[in-house]
Amino acid sequence: MAPVNIFKHGADEEKAETARLSSFIGAIAIGDLVKSTLGPKGMDKILLGGGKAGTVTVTNDGATILKAIGVDNPAAKVLVDMSKVQDDEVGDGTTSVTVLAAELLREAELLIARKIHPQTIISGWRKATQAAREALRDAAVDHSNDPARFQEDLLNIARTTLSSKLLTHHKDHFAKLAVNAVMRLKGSGNLEAIHIIKKLGGSLTDSYLDEGFLLDKKIGVNQPKRLENANILIANTGMDTDKIKIFGSRVRVDSTAKVAEIELAEKEKMKEKVDRILKHGINCFINRQLIYNYPEQLFAQAGVMAIEHADFAGIERLALVTGGEITSTFDHPELVKLGHCKLIEEVMIGEDTLIHFSGVAMGEACTVVLRGATQQILDEAERSLHDALCVLAQTVKEPRTVYGGGCSEMLMAKVVSDLANRTPGKESVAMESFAKALMMLPTIIADNAGYDSADLVAQLRAAHQENKTTFGLNMSDGTVGNMVDLCITESFQVKRQMLLSASEAAEMILRVDNIIKAAPRSVQYFGPC
């Protein structure tokens, strides 16, 4: 009997082994793409953008690399999305989570070849995940009751996070900077209050933390350049109607005087608007849109500082830190919430003039000023610092920490291996494969540093068998060392999220036995226009 095709013409279907193989190949390829960036000695990738500009990005951040590449394989898309979620949730571990999921699928491919059913593998993996999670929880350390030790933990976590980034050579400087910024948040974890400004010039070590808010704009002409006890009105309104703008219509006049009358009416309208704004009792006006010459002149006469064309992200953050609200209408001054700060002044950074707001209502607000030789260095420094800030903000909320350098992965692998030895049936084979995938992470870290991974991982496994559960890889010397002495600490939240996300994504891809692609949309051609 001939096979019956139930799909539309052009639709495609991949079945059983073909579908599974296609998923495995796509996911493993994504893992292989980013695994060379893993660890403190990981390599960077250059991402060249399309279009006329051809933007160049140099990075070793897993999420940035995966966001930039366009993938067509559905399993690869699952890993890309998972990496984005890891980045949004905890900020770090984006490469680790992708590599672990890919290694799990590499092991699954071998098990499928040995005719072990996917559901048996999934069942074994679930038990292995649970055992690994409990082992990680038991190994976690909580120093939140001791402020001095917790501060040291935060510094160690920041150093460990930055050691695999561009900032590794200045990690002490940036770790202190990141910890100081996060400690100012007083446990709120609201990273919106930390503003990062990038300015070309100088070196990375010239970067600093400024206690206040910096806006990359200039103050209007003939207006006060310094204000104390500022009352700030933040607005998003058109201040450019002092010229005639009657689009799509025609006005007939019989003399030039009539045109002047229309212009005068426009000016009067603008003067009325400025008067309504001044009734709010303000001495600083910040607008999202342009402020033309006439209203700027009126503000200068009233002694009000006016700042125009503040970018939207900047104005939103400014409203947050000064305690004001963005306003568009000015008829009811009593309903408008003004922003307040103790001092507004112009400051010079490099060759640029910026506006500095100090003593803002939200005391935890601060600005990190990054300096660097090229735009690519500044962009990568911002990504690295953002990862560190995210991890630290998460650690302040969930203060438990675990040890890094492949220590946690080996600890989990040992527990899963022990469980596999006690488990009868085929599930034990799946658990053994889960342990192997976990052990691949320290192997890849050692490989990327150019060391003998087989020897190092064997030494590390032997150390863990002797219950030296704080031992991991020392990538500075290419040896196995005690992570407590080396101060290589990671956030418990990052490790837990990595384990759960990778196992869930791998399980989801392993369940697939059919891939159905929709028929491409047909384009009808009606001849030349």
The neighbouring-strand residues paired with 454 are none
Token pair, residue 116, equals: 């072990």
| Contact (CB, 8 A) for 242 and 266 | yes
Q: Please list the ranges in the chain whose pLDDT falls under 70.
A: 1-4, 7, 9-12, 51-53, 187, 189, 241-250, 312-313, 363, 522-529
Which ranges constitute the DSSP H helices of 248-400?
A: 256-278, 293-301, 312-322, 375-397
The neighbouring-strand residues paired with 234 are 286, 326
Rounded to whole angstroms, how far apart are CA atoms 527 and 517? Answer: 30
Task: Identify the H or E element spanning 86.
Answer: helix 74-89
Residue 186's pLDDT is: 76
Query: What superfamily would CATH give domain 12-142+403-517?
Result: GroEL-like equatorial domain (1.10.560.10)
Residue 529's pLDDT is: 54
Residue 443's pLDDT is: 93
Token pair, residue 261, equals: 């009358």
Q: Where are the domains of the chain?
A: 12-142+403-517, 146-212+364-398, 228-362
Backbone φ/ψ region at 187: left (φ over 0), alpha (ψ -120 to 50), beta: left
- Decide: helix, strand or coil at residue 258: helix
Residue 417's pLDDT is: 94
Rounded to whole angstroms, how far apart are CA atoms 478 and 441? Answer: 16
Nearest CA among 201, 203, 182 for reference residue 193: 182
| Contact (CB, 8 A) for 420 and 157 | no
Rounded to whole angstroms, how far apart are CA atoms 155 and 177? Answer: 10
Residue 241's pLDDT is: 64
Token pair, residue 288, equals: 């999202």
If you ran DSSP here, which 8-state letter would residue 192 be given?
G
If you ran DSSP here, which 8-state letter would residue 328 be given?
S
Looking from the CA of 431 toward its CB, the CA atoms found within 13 Å total: 25
Rounded to whole angstroms, how far apart are CA atoms 344 and 114? Answer: 71
Residue 248's pLDDT is: 57
Phi/psi for 95 (5° steps) reads: -70, -45
Residue 249's pLDDT is: 61
What CATH number belongs to 228-362? 3.50.7.10
The listed CATH number (3.60.10.10, 3.30.260.10, 3.40.30.10, 2.30.110.10) that belongs to domain 146-212+364-398: 3.30.260.10
Rounded to whole angstroms, how far apart are CA atoms 25 and 509? Answer: 11
Residue 247's pLDDT is: 58
Residue 2's pLDDT is: 54
